[in-house]
Every structure is written in C-alpha cells, then in structure tokens.
C-alpha cells in the first residue's frame, strides 16, 4: 500500500496548494533474498520515488514497509541508521553522486566510519578490498572523482554501496548515463556481486534490454501504479497488460523471425496531478471500453491461468490478444 503524495503549491509569498501529485499510489510488492526485482516504466511513473521511499530517503504518505520482519516506517533515528547498513542505493548519475572534494579512499571511508566498521590499517585494507571487488586497484584510492571515466565512477558508487555489507541495494538506473559499450561491463559486475554476496536488488530502469538481462521479476509501472508484475521470462514471453505490450514492442528481439509489430501509444503520459479516472491508462489504450473509464482495475491473477506469480491490472486482460510472441527459450 505504499503511497507518496506531494502537495503542489503556487505563489512565492502566499503559497496556496493547487493540488496533489500522486507520485506513488498504493504499490504492493515484495523482494526475496537474492532476487532482482525490476521496476520499469516511462520517466515520471514513480519508480525512483518508490526506491527512495523503501530506503526512507523520503517519507511515505501511507503504507507499510517491512525489511526482514522490521517495520521500517516505525524506526527511530538510531535504528534507521543501523538499517541503512543493510539497505543501500546506487544512483543514476555517477558524475553527480560522488563528492568531488573527496578522494575515492575518503569516499569509501565514510560509510565504514559511519557504521563503525573499520579504522586504522583495517580501514585501509577494507578500502583496497572494496576497490578490487569492483575491478579497481588500491592506487585508485588516492585519486579524485574527476580523474575517472563514467564507468569507473559507477564502480566507485557500487563499492561505496557495498562498504556496509548490505543485503538490499536499490539501483536507480545505474547504467543509463553510461556509454552502451560500458553498460554491459557494469551490469555483469553487478550480477557477479549479487551472486557473491547474496544481494537483493530493486533495479529501476526504463531500458528493457537491460531489465531482460538482469532481473528475476519485473513490475511495470504507469502513473504511480503497478499495472503488471510477473517473472521476467513470462513477462517478456507473454505480456498481458496493454501497456506492457506496448513497452515491449519497442524492444529489439534477439530472434529476427520473432519480430513484433511496434505498438505506438497515442498521446503523452497524462499529468500525475490529475490522473485519468478509472483505469489510468485508458486515455492511451487501444482496448479501452466504458468500464475502463469508470472503474479502476485492481492487480489480480489471470483467470485463464497466466504464469505463476503474474498479476495484471486490466479489466479485459483475458480477452486481449497480445502481439506476436517472443520465443520462450530466447538466449540470455
């Protein structure tokens, strides 16, 4: 039931509220140990806000967050700091997320000091170890961020997240600012680290090719809601929500004999200040009917036996014929 509403104000001196942005509106999902759950959708759908809510970098308006049995929203300052050891974040922009005045070693020392994890020579050793985990060397510790490429900076961001030995990392578009040639290296590194340390990822992305590579399950978001959630293979093989079908139709398929017709969505994403009534997607949905304009569809399993764990928020999911299918056994 995770919800975040931002009041929108107008005026400089006398501010008056003019409305509420429903950035995240009643999301429910879980992430298992060792699992990567992708949150995908167009910009403004609420995926980054969701990641920040989970870590309490911003406070939710409503809803519950549980981490390893603990009620995250109920934690006081001290308990929250302790929890931050277990939950970390990697940001999208490796250029903006590192302090330019700190050497890489100083950057990595911060979380170690904050959580009382190491000091003195043990700290030096730990910093060298973190650098080597992400494919950098001990001598990089003395350098400043501007001396590194984008890909190397993101490796430093990953090392910083790893410093406190977290169990969950929220990855907010970690490769979308990088050159395509570098993206695969960073993604592969993240996959390796996940296996090695048993990490869970909430992986926020709009690039579905990346999501296809890294995720175990995928939640598709539209205007602050999850419209479809399914295991990756099922979602890519047989998307059931018209919005998911449109998003996937734009992804190149590895098998050229399985090309799908591109579904072009009409219009732009409506403003989250005033989302459409009923199904929020109805203004752009080719299958919309009267019921869609009045009644909001709830996330539910399919009546025709969709994939295990697949839920869809569409009144007519069972009767919508998806576009040409991707082969089930596509190469990884």
The residues of the shown chain that bind Mg ion, judged by CB under 5 A, are 48
Question: Minimum Å distance from CB 109 to Mg ion?
Answer: 29
Judge whether 205 and 177 are in contact, CB under 8 Å: no
What is the Cα–Cα distance from 199 to 36, expressed in whole angstroms?
9
Residues 6+ apart with CB under 8 A from 121: none
Of 53 and 299, the one with the shorter C-beta distance to ligand SF4 is 299
Query: Interface residues for ligand SF4 in 183-242 (CB under 6 A)?
Result: 242
Q: Would you count residue 282 as binding ligand SF4 (CB under 6 A)? A: yes
65 touches ligand SF4 by CB under 6 A = no
DSSP string, 112-157: HHHTT---HHHHHHHHHHHHHHTT--GGGGGS-GGGS-HHHHHHHH
DSSP one-letter code for 100: T
DSSP code at position 318 = T
- CB of 63 closer than 8 Å to CB of 2: yes
DSSP 277: S
Q: Which two tokens stand for residue 77?
A: 């300052």
Residue 47 near ligand SF4 by CB under 6 A = no
Is 285 a binding residue for ligand SF4 by CB under 6 A? The answer is yes
Measure the CA dihedral 86/90/95/96, to 10°. -70
CB of 261 to ligand SF4, least distance (A): 18
Q: Give the integer Cα–Cα distance in Å for 101 and 110.
A: 13
Stretch of 162-170, 250-258, 284-292, 301-309 contacting ligand SF4, by CB under 6 A: 284-292
Q: Check binding of 287 to ligand SF4 (CB under 6 A).
A: yes
Residue 37 binds ligand SF4 (CB under 6 A): no
Minimal distance, residue 231 CB to Mg ion, in Å: 24
- Partner interacting with residue 48 (select from ligand SF4, Mg ion, none; CB below 5-8 Å by kind): Mg ion
Residue 233: CB minimum distance to Mg ion, A: 26
**Any bridge partners for residue 304, and if so which?**
none
Residue nearer to ligand SF4 on the CB measure, 51 or 242: 242
Q: Which stretch binds ligand SF4 (CB under 6 A): 113-121, 139-147, 210-218, 308-316?
A: 308-316
Which of 93, 296 has the CB closer to Mg ion?
A: 93
216 to 31, 151, 232, 233, 234: CA distances (angstroms)? 10, 24, 5, 8, 10
Does residue number 323 form part of the binding site for ligand SF4 (CB under 6 A)? no
Residues 233-272 that bind ligand SF4 (CB under 6 A): 242
Residue 315: contacted member of ligand SF4, Mg ion, none (CB under 5 to 8 Å, by partner type): ligand SF4
Interface with ligand SF4 (CB under 6 A), residue from 111, 234, 315, 322? 315
Q: Does 72 bind ligand SF4 (CB under 6 A)?
A: no
Q: Which stretch binds ligand SF4 (CB under 6 A): 37-45, 145-153, 286-294, 322-330?
A: 286-294
Shortest separation between residue 130's beta carbon and ligand SF4, angstroms: 45
DSSP 28-81: -----TT-EEEEE-STTSSHHHHHHHHTTSS--SB---EETTEEGGG--HHHHH
Q: How many chain residues interact with ligand SF4 (CB under 6 A)?
A: 12
Residue 115 contact, options Mg ion, ligand SF4, none, Cβ 5-8 Å cut-off depending on partner type: none
Whether 223 contacts 52, CB under 8 Å: no
Instruction: Give the interface with ligand SF4 as residue ranges (CB under 6 A).
Output: 242, 279, 281-282, 285, 287-288, 292, 297, 314-316
């Amino acid at each position: 039931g995770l919800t975040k509403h931002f009041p929108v104000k107008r005026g400089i001196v006398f501010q008056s509220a003019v409305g509420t942005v429903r950035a995240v509106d009643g999301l429910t999902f879980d992430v298992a140990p060792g699992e990567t759950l992708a949150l995908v959708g167009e910009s403004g759908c609420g995926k980054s806000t969701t990641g920040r809510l989970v870590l309490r970098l911003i406070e939710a308006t409503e809803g519950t967050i549980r981490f390893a049995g603990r009620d995250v929203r109920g934690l006081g300052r001290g308990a929250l700091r302790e929890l931050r050891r277990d939950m970390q974040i990697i940001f999208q922009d490796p250029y903006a997320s590192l302090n330019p005045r700190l050497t890489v070693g100083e950057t990595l020392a911060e979380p170690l000091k904050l959580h009382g994890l190491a000091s003195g020579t043990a700290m030096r050793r730990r910093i060298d170890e973190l650098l080597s985990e992400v494919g950098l060397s001990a001598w990089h510790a003395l350098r400043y961020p501007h001396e590194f490429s984008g890909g190397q900076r993101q490796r430093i961001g990953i090392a910083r997240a790893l410093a406190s030995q977290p169990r969950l990392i929220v990855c907010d578009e970690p490769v979308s600012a990088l050159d395509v040639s570098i993206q695969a290296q960073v993604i592969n590194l993240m996959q390796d680290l996940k296996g090695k340390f048993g990490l869970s990822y909430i992986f926020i992305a709009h690039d579905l090719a990346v999501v296809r590579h890294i995720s175990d399950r995928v939640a598709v978001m539209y205007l602050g809601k999850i419209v479809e959630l399914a295991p990756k293979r099922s979602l890519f093989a047989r998307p059931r929500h018209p919005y998911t079908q449109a998003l996937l139709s734009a992804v190149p398929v590895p098998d050229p004999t399985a090309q799908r017709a591109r579904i072009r969505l009409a219009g732009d994403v409506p403003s989250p200040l005033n989302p459409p009534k009923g199904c929020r997607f109805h203004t752009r949905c080719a299958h919309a009917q009267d019921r869609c304009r009045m009644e909001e569809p709830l996330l539910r399993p399919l009546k025709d036996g969709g994939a295990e764990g697949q839920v869809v928020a569409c009144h007519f999911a069972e009767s919508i014929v998806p576009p040409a299918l991707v082969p089930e056994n596509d190469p990884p």
